């Protein structure tokens, strides 16, 4: 009973966090926050799924959560390059150990492509210990072999538009002074 109450409490807090996202998965802080926000939501759901298999099935089919998970590939403009806004850095640093399972659970080809990056980020402090251990023990050997530029366009309603080709990408960002992390 106590464990069930703790899980319900946690899911309520997680639900409040997710409620601040729009249906298209847009993160106003920029793609650098993906590892600390969007992907952390998935990591938590994955822990609960491992503890109680099948318990997160409905959440893994939620379109809003899938859009949140696909935010990173949707702002990628080829290779390890990202559109930068908010607190974003231009280079993609990811951990395939968590992105690959997210791609599988959310049935997302763009996430599976991100997982085939050869370099990954484990961070510089103890906060990333779980990422490092997951990379050692949970990362499958069968990563996809190729990456594409991504879709020809990504549009986040009234916020950001990205247009891509093999040789050129352009992004258009709207904003206001009240946006969080609007630097």
Question: What whole-number distance in Å separates Cα of residue 180 and Cα of residue 174?
Answer: 13
pLDDT value of residue 67: 95
92-146: pLDDT as tens digits: 766 667 788 888 899 998 888 887 765 555 555 555 666 666 666 666 566 555 5
CA 117/CA 140 separation, integer angstroms: 13
Q: Which position has the higher pLDDT, 124 or 33?
A: 33
pTM for the full predicted model: 0.80
Q: What is the pLDDT of residue 99?
A: 82
pLDDT higher than 90, residue 70: yes
Q: What share of the chain is helix, strand, coil (3-state, %, to 5)?
A: 45, 10, 45
């Amino acid at each position: 009973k106590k464990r069930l109450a703790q899980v319900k409490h946690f899911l309520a807090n997680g639900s409040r966090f997710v409620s601040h996202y729009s249906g298209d998965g847009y993160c106003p802080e920029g793609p650098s926050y993906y590892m600390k926000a969007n992907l952390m939501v998935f990591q938590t759901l994955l822990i609960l799924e491992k503890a109680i298999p099948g318990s997160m099935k409905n959440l893994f089919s939620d379109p809003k959560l899938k859009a949140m998970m696909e935010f990173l590939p949707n702002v990628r403009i080829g290779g390890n390059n990202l559109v930068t806004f908010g607190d974003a850095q231009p280079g993609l640093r990811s951990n395939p150990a968590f992105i690959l399972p997210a791609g599988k659970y959310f049935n997302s080809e763009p996430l599976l492509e991100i997982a085939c990056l050869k370099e990954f980020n484990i961070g510089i402090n103890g906060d990333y210990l779980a990422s490092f251990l997951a990379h050692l023990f949970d990362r499958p050997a069968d990563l996809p072999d190729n990456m594409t530029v991504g879709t020809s366009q990504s549009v986040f309603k009234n916020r950001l538009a990205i247009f891509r080709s093999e040789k050129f990408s352009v992004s258009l960002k709207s904003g206001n002074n009240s946006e969080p992390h609007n630097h």
